[in-house]
């Protein structure tokens, strides 16, 4: 089947021919006729299978044939979770609609809002936006949804993972009830299915590939090692295997920066993409990577979706994602449009449950290897065959065997007579003194101590001294001292 058989208009067909699009992909064959007919749509397709063209081409045709947009109006709204995906989708609309008289723009945070407000004054046929910045524009009165015809939710599951649930509810409340709604994603969780039930009316379901499945063109491999050895193993593999280009995923922003610094110290050309970097710097790093000016691009999961890099040969998971679906999106950056690709994951023992969840999701056990010199001291346990159900049933602990206790006879110990101590009886309590004025009771005063009997003073023979005080004693001793001084020394 050709694109012409899908009833696309001539300007779109000429543009597709110039871009080198020969035949539609399976998801495009199913989605384009449904969108042209105005139906709501829920499409599950692997990333890299052309799902953006699956909704962009028919929407551009409908907008071209339907008329013009008024000031501050938006006719087609595309919501995406990240800035990178917003740029990617906007670029697709711009390329596919190059020959059409339509206005499109992109809006996201991290950049000044004034240019986006100015673009909306004349109205837009297509607005690609992230939820947070869209609400900012809506609160400022920069746009209106009175003319909205179509809402597209691209990667809605990722928007919920990033905490956009409240923002999405606010956006949905501002939209007209009568509209066309399209959901496109590589993965669909139970929450997304519940959302689709509320937003979509009699939708057409498109299942171009098994849900939550990795592309068959991507060769996947796991290197088991210790957590501390991962950076050194990454550098070793990059040199040994002579990586031409690779997109490397790390879990945290700090981990991304540390890995980029290490790779640069080792002589590799490396750049970073994560949420703390300014948007112009992120776009510059991505463009340099696409232009083959950078060998290794290290990123968090903000780059897991929306990066369309031509012929990217390798994706490396420095850390496994905490959400198993993100693994599918990560490795979907390679092996796109039927091309071959490879995905390597460095896995430590504390990541075995994350690995098990990934293997359960994609319904396959990933092959493992150990690189000589980087063998894991803490072995990564085997995950075995992925269970069909998500619930893991743990075996009950074996009961301990009952140990018979020996009956030890007690020995009769003769009681010995313990002499009783004579405890003096307490003296009768003294009568308490009367309570003084003021209400506080004073402790009884202790009886005065009897005066000490004076010690008999040493009186020389023939003398009589009456000792009445300390001074009198000294006076009595004075004559004896004087006499002693007058005696000659022997």
Closest to 97 measured CA to CA, from 53, 161, 158: 53
> What is the chain's mean pLDDT, rounded?
80
> Can you tell me the distance from the alpha carbon of 200 to that of 24, in angstroms, rounded to the nearest whole number?
25
Closest to 153 measured CA to CA, from 170, 136, 132, 130: 130
> Can you tell me the distance from the alpha carbon of 128 to that of 148, in angstroms, rounded to the nearest whole number?
13
Check residue 118 and report its DSSP letter. H
Whether 145 maps to a domain, the answer reads yes
Task: Indicate whether 14 and 51 sit together in one domain.
Answer: yes
pLDDT of residue 433: 45
Asked whether residue 50 carries a pLDDT value surpassing 60, the answer given is yes
Tell me the mean pLDDT in the region 171-188: 87
Asked whether residue 121 carries a pLDDT value surpassing 50, the answer given is yes
Asked whether residue 424 carries a pLDDT value surpassing 50, the answer given is no
pLDDT of residue 440: 36
User: Which among 303, 334, 369 is the end of a domain?
Assistant: 369
Task: Indicate whether 77 and 12 sit together in one domain.
Answer: yes
pLDDT of residue 170: 92
pLDDT of residue 382: 86
Asked whether residue 15 carries a pLDDT value surpassing 60, the answer given is yes
Whether 442 maps to a domain, the answer reads no
Task: Indicate whether 132 and 29 sit together in one domain.
Answer: yes
Closest to 63 measured CA to CA, from 73, 48, 49: 73
Residue pointed to by tokens 């699009």: 21
| Proportion of the chain above pLDDT 70, given as a percent | 74
Burial of 102 (0-12, 13-18, 19+ CB in 10 A): buried
Work out the pLDDT band at 394, boundaries 50, 70, 90: very low
pLDDT-wise least confident of 32-46, 178-192, 206-220, 257-271: 206-220
pLDDT of residue 83: 86
Task: Indicate whether 199 and 315 sit together in one domain.
Answer: no
Closest to 87 measured CA to CA, from 237, 241, 309, 264: 309
Task: Indicate whether 15 and 82 sit together in one domain.
Answer: yes
Domain count, the chain: 2
Q: What is the pLDDT of residues 63-82, one digit of tens each?
A: 999 888 889 999 999 999 88
Task: Indicate whether 103 and 47 sit together in one domain.
Answer: yes
Whether 424 maps to a domain, the answer reads no
Query: Which sign does the torsion angle of CA 326, 294, 96, 143 carry?
Result: positive
pLDDT of residue 418: 36
For residues 337 and 156, the model is more confident at 156
Answer for the pair 308, 289: CB distance below 8 angstroms, yes or no: no
Task: Indicate whether 225 and 253 sit together in one domain.
Answer: yes
Asked whether residue 475 carries a pLDDT value surpassing 70, the answer given is no
Whether 37 maps to a domain, the answer reads yes
Residue 357 CA to chain centroid, in angstroms? 17
User: Which among 347, 369, 391 is the end of a domain?
Assistant: 369
| Coil, helix or strand at residue 65 | helix
Task: Look up the domain containing 309 and give its range.
Answer: 218-369
Task: Indicate whether 246 and 357 sit together in one domain.
Answer: yes
pLDDT-wise least confident of 86-90, 127-131, 163-167, 227-231: 163-167
pLDDT of residue 197: 87
Whether 34 maps to a domain, the answer reads yes
Task: Indicate whether 346 and 310 sit together in one domain.
Answer: yes
Asked whether residue 53 carries a pLDDT value surpassing 50, the answer given is yes
Task: Indicate whether 325 and 194 sit together in one domain.
Answer: no
Tell me the mean pLDDT in the region 325-351: 86
Query: Which sign does the torsion angle of CA 382, 388, 392, 395 carry?
Result: negative
Answer for the pair 305, 325: CB distance below 8 angstroms, yes or no: no
User: Which among 369, 402, 431 is the end of a domain?
Assistant: 369
Whether 415 maps to a domain, the answer reads no
pLDDT of residue 334: 86
Task: Indicate whether 263 and 359 sit together in one domain.
Answer: yes
DSSP string spanning 225-279? --GGGHHHHHHHHHHHTT-S-EEEE-SSHHHHHHHHHHHHHTT--EEEE-TTS-H
Residue pointed to by tokens 């947070």: 132
Closest to 47 measured CA to CA, from 361, 363, 332: 332
Q: How many Cβ atoms are within 10 Å of 118's Cβ, its own excluded?
A: 11
Work out the pLDDT band at 412, boundaries 50, 70, 90: very low
Asked whether residue 157 carries a pLDDT value surpassing 80, the answer given is no
Task: Indicate whether 58 and 200 sit together in one domain.
Answer: yes
Answer for the pair 42, 206: CB distance below 8 angstroms, yes or no: yes
Whether 222 maps to a domain, the answer reads yes
Asked whether residue 163 carries a pLDDT value surpassing 50, the answer given is yes
Whether 333 maps to a domain, the answer reads yes
CATH assignment of the domain containing 313: 3.40.50.300
């Amino acid at each position: 089947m050709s694109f012409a058989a899908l009833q696309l208009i001539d300007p779109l067909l000429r543009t597709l021919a110039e871009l080198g699009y020969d035949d539609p992909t399976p998801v495009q064959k199913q989605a384009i006729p449904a969108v042209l007919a105005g139906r709501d749509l829920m499409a599950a397709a692997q990333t890299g299978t052309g799902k953006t063209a699956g909704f962009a081409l028919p929407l551009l045709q409908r907008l071209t044939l339907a008329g013009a947009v008024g000031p501050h109006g938006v006719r087609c709204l595309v919501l995406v979770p990240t800035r990178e995906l917003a740029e990617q989708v906007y670029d697709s609309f711009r390329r596919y609609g190059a020959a059409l008289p339509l206005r499109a723009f992109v809006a996201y945070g991290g950049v000044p809002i004034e240019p986006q407000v100015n673009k909306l004054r004349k109205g837009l046929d297509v607005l690609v936006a992230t939820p947070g910045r869209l609400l900012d524009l809506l609160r400022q009165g920069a746009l209106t949804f009175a003319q909205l015809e179509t809402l597209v939710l691209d990667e809605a599951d990722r928007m919920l993972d990033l905490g956009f649930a409240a923002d999405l509810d606010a956006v949905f409340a501002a939209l007209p009830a009568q509209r066309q709604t399209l959901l496109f994603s590589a993965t669909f969780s139970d929450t997304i299915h519940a959302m689709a039930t509320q937003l979509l009316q009699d939708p057409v379901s498109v299942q171009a590939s098994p849900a939550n499945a990795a592309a068959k063109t991507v060769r996947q491999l796991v290197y088991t090692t210790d957590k501390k050895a991962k950076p050194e193993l990454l550098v070793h593999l990059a040199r040994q295997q002579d990586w031409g280009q690779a997109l490397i995923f790390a879990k945290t922003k700090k981990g991304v920066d540390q890995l980029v610094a290490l790779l640069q110290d080792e002589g590799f050309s490396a750049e970073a993409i994560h949420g703390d970097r300014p948007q112009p710097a992120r776009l510059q790093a991505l463009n340099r990577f696409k232009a083959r000016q950078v060998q290794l691009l290290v990123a968090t999961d903000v780059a897991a979706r929306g990066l369309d890099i031509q012929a990217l040969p390798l994706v490396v998971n420095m850390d496994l994602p905490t959400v198993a679906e993100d693994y599918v999106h990560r490795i979907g950056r390679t092996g796109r449009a039927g091309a071959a690709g490879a995905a390597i994951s460095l896995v430590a023992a504390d990541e075995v449950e994350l690995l098990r969840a990934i293997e359960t999701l994609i319904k396959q056990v990933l092959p493992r290897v150990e690189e000589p010199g980087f063998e894991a001291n803490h072995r990564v346990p085997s995950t075995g065959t992925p269970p069909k159900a998500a619930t893991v049933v743990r075996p009950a602990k074996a009961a301990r065997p009952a140990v018979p206790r020996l009956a030890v006879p007690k020995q009769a110990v003769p009681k010995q007579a313990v002499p009783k101590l004579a405890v003096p009886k307490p003296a009768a309590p003294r009568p308490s003194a009367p309570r003084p004025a003021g209400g506080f009771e004073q402790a009884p005063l202790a009886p005065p101590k009897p005066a000490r009997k004076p010690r008999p003073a040493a009186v020389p023979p023939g003398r009589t001294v009456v000792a009445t005080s300390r001074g009198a004693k000294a006076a009595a001793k004075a004559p004896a001292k004087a006499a002693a001084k007058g005696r000659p020394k022997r």
